[in-house]
Structure 1
Amino acid sequence: MGLSADPATDRPGLIDSSVARYADGLRKASNPLVLRPELWASCEQQARQILGECIATLHGTPVQVAAEAELTSMALGVQRSFEKVSPIDSVHAARVLFDVAVETMTEAAARLPAEVALSRFLTAVRMLHKGIFTRVSAAAIGYESTTLRDVGQASTARRHQLARDLHDHIGSSIGLALRCLDLYTMEQATGVASTRDRLEDARQALRDVFSFTRTMVSGLRVNELHDGLKEEIDAYSAAASDRPAEVSSRIDGDESWLPEQARQELFLVVREALRNAFAHAGADHIDILVSVFPDAVHATVTDDGVGLPSPRTGDGTGLTAMRQRVTALGGTLELISEPGQGTRVQLRIPLDDAGAGAR
């Protein structure tokens, strides 16, 4: 790759060589973003911004994604809609840039002092996640909003669905990846061995983001879970928690009674409740119980953590999305919590209505 002896002093050279490899990767896939000069100009500009953010972070300079970057990306999504660029091409470009940037930072980090190399590298990877997906999410909103407006379908319900999907799929997966990196850093610092491969968990969470983004922006979303509910819940718990043995889950009843839509939405609600418990509750124990009946499914997520203040000023984005998902299936969701008394999220979804909506 031709790194200089002191990469900290040759950031323009690092960016130039990385952009060249990025363009080569796009050409090999015949991606129109590099084959059409008018498209490559904006694509290259964004790549240079993202690489600059990551390399600055790698060398100890605090960086934030500029607010203008999100607005620019949303406008770029609108532009690519007008120019009939397939969203798949944009997602593929993000994937190629991610691989190139990680390779660049790996090689550059190897030339940093050993005592700071790992922590700087992990911080830079987190910056890369944020830089790419802030822009991808904004561009997807711009692209879809324009497309829906053109065909007269920009309804409030669709916008809410898009916001929920971005939060629950993209936001949650990125959050999981960052948590895995935090846990890896903590375990490295304390010398406490873990049975989990935290870096592989982070990589898998990012693969899930790429996969979902590709299918979402192309209008070909496939939300089916690959495993049973318990397996999916336990896998998320093990990856997201530093105390996986203290989380217990149980599924009662026949899971085959659940229509796929209800099953998927149920998992997303339970996962969000778990995420909140891991992030905010400080709980010693979290219990998940899902009971499936022929006509309804009940679920509870209970923790013995710090509870929520009373009175509460309102629901956050996560809880609002949970309520909207359950309500869309004709169900109800209740949050029960008091300071120092833990929190319980309980929901009920009627399977006759859910099944009708899913078929």
Structure 2
Amino acid sequence: MEKDRAEFWAACERVLDTMSGPVADDAAARRHILAEAELILSDMVESLRAGHARVTENNRRAAGGNGGSAAARDAHPRDSLLFWDAFFDIVLRRLVAYVDLGEESRDPFGLAVSVLYRSITSRLSDGLVSYSGRLLNKVHEAQLDERSRITRELHDRVGFWLNTAFRQMELYDVARERGTDLGKATERVERARFAVREAMRSLRATTSELRLQEPVKNLEKALSAAFAALPANEAVFRLNVNGDEEWAPNAVKDEVFLITREAVRNAVVHGRPKLVVIGVHIAPHELRVYVDDDGAGFDPAEKSGGIGLSAMRERAELLNGALTVSTVQGRGTHVELFVPIPERGDA
């Protein structure tokens, strides 16, 4: 067998040439599996010389992986199985050609076949365990990503309206206790009722599809309606939208709406500003949002950010965009969002 190794490896190369997939196509993975085949052949020769099975573990062969690129390591075990099946056939045929299957040759032949079988099945078993482990890791990562997404959806779509309703009712209680401006107090109740209805609608949509059934189509109208529902106290909102909204896909406008709405809500609830200026600038290839307030600001070193700020950043990243927040205590907060707009063919 050692004498005809060149012909033997040429046969193995031909097997790989007829295959498709990461094991055959990835150069490093190809070298790896041929090196494993070389080890098996060496084990057979050493076992025949020693008269008993000698199977090299090779330090567990890097957990039985396919070697090479990440794509090759993630290849389904059936890709390796195709090669090992052909390899087994090649070796078996050559054993039959080399060995006279008489009485004296039965034991060495059986030993060679046993080593061949154990070596191949060991590698397939290791590969299957490694592949299963990688699949479980991917499932776990997907579960974590989905939990984060659900958290964002509940916070931004349902939590916003519930928080708005609660704040309106708080202000209603204050007005009622003071007995002043009951007309405005009644208006707060109506706004709270509207916010609760929106929360219920958003919750139904979120639990059924984990997304709004109808994404935002008109960003300016959606933002104006959201700001009108906020318990702004004495704050004044100035919204300016420039550019053609048709340049931005509805899915992008939907995410930008949620980020901007949360930025304004944070300004109103935590900063208690007198003025909040919101600028939305839409160009054919990018969308930028600026939210400036003259409120209390905060100390970035002490502010944890909470779910709201984290959700804003995550949504920006999902759009391949960026969110920056700068603030000075007593001098307000500046929030800036940048989102690239894909070309129509890429949307």
What is the TM-score of this pair, normalised by structure 1?
Answer: 0.53
Match of 1:332 among 322, 337, 343: 322
> Is the contact made by 1:237 and 1:244 (CA closer than 8 Å) also made in structure 2?
no
Distance, in Å, in 2 between the alignment partners of 1:302 and 1:223 is 31
Give the aligned partner of residue 248 of structure 1.
238
Return the offset for 1:206: 1.7
Return the offset for 1:248: 0.7
Distance, in Å, in 2 between the alignment partners of 1:352 and 1:294 is 9
The C-alpha deviation readout for 1:120-171, integer Å capped at 9, x for no partner, is xxxxxxxxxxxxxxxxxxxxxxxxxxxxx9xx68532211110100111111
Matched, 1:221 2:221: no
Match of 2:297 among 286, 294, 307: 307
Return the offset for 1:283: 1.0
Return the offset for 1:223: 4.7
Match of 2:249 among 242, 248, 259: 259
What percentage of residue pairs aligned between the two structures are identical? Answer: 32
Give the aligned partner of residue 343 of structure 1.
333
Matched, 1:163 2:151: yes
Give the aligned partner of residue 95 of structure 2.
none
Match of 2:193 among 203, 209, 216: 203
Match of 1:185 among 150, 173, 176: 173
Distance, in Å, in 1 between the alignment partners of 2:305 and 2:327 is 13
Question: Mind listing any 5+ residue stretches in structure 2 that lack a counterpart?
Answer: 1-135
Decide which structure has the larger Cα Rg and report it.
Answer: 2
Distance, in Å, in 2 between the alignment partners of 1:353 and 1:320 is 28
Letter in 2 for 1:326: A
Instruction: Assess, with a 3 A threshold, how the Cα gap between structure 1 residues 300 and 283 changes in structure 2: closer, same or farther.
Output: same
Matches within 5 A, 1:1-359: 154-190=142-178, 191-192=180-181, 193-194=183-184, 197-219=187-209, 221-225=211-215, 228-243=218-233, 246-352=236-342, 356=346, 359=347
Distance, in Å, in 2 between the alignment partners of 1:223 and 1:183 is 32
> Is the contact made by 2:292 and 2:334 (CA closer than 8 Å) also made in structure 1?
yes
How many aligned residue pairs are there? 207
Instruction: Assess, with a 3 A threshold, how the Cα gap between structure 1 residues 316 and 222 changes in structure 2: closer, same or farther.
Output: closer
Instruction: Assess, with a 3 A threshold, how the Cα gap between structure 1 residues 181 and 196 changes in structure 2: closer, same or farther.
Output: same
Runs of 4+ in 1 over 6 A off after TM superposition: none
Return the offset for 1:295: 0.3
Letter in 1 for 2:149: Q
Distance, in Å, in 2 between the alignment partners of 1:353 and 1:157 is 27
> Is the contact made by 2:287 and 2:340 (CA closer than 8 Å) also made in structure 1?
yes
Letter in 1 for 2:192: A
Superposition CA RMSD, Å: 2.6
Distance, in Å, in 1 between the alignment partners of 2:226 and 2:334 is 19
Return the offset for 1:195: 9.1
Instruction: Assess, with a 3 A threshold, how the Cα gap between structure 1 residues 216 and 241 changes in structure 2: closer, same or farther.
Output: closer
Return the offset for 1:220: 6.8
Instruction: Assess, with a 3 A threshold, how the Cα gap between structure 1 residues 226 and 348 changes in structure 2: closer, same or farther.
Output: closer
Return the offset for 1:219: 2.5
Return the offset for 1:211: 1.9
Return the offset for 1:197: 2.5
Return the offset for 1:217: 2.0
Instruction: Assess, with a 3 A threshold, how the Cα gap between structure 1 residues 330 and 226 changes in structure 2: closer, same or farther.
Output: closer
Letter in 2 for 1:282: R
Instruction: Assess, with a 3 A threshold, how the Cα gap between structure 1 residues 282 and 209 changes in structure 2: closer, same or farther.
Output: closer
Return the offset for 1:354: 9.9
Distance, in Å, in 2 between the alignment partners of 1:219 and 1:313 is 33
What is the TM-score of this pair, normalised by structure 2?
Answer: 0.54
Secondary structure in structure 2 of the residue aligned to 1:352 = coil
> Is the contact made by 1:183 and 1:242 (CA closer than 8 Å) also made in structure 2?
no
Return the offset for 1:212: 2.1
Secondary structure in structure 2 of the residue aligned to 1:276 = helix
> Is the contact made by 1:224 and 1:260 (CA closer than 8 Å) also made in structure 2?
no
Instruction: Assess, with a 3 A threshold, how the Cα gap between structure 1 residues 295 and 156 changes in structure 2: closer, same or farther.
Output: same
> Is the contact made by 1:262 and 1:355 (CA closer than 8 Å) also made in structure 2?
no
> Is the contact made by 2:276 and 2:294 (CA closer than 8 Å) also made in structure 1?
yes
Of residues 250-259 and 199-208 in structure 1, the stretch that sits farther from structure 2 once superposed is: 199-208
Give the aligned partner of residue 36 of structure 2.
none
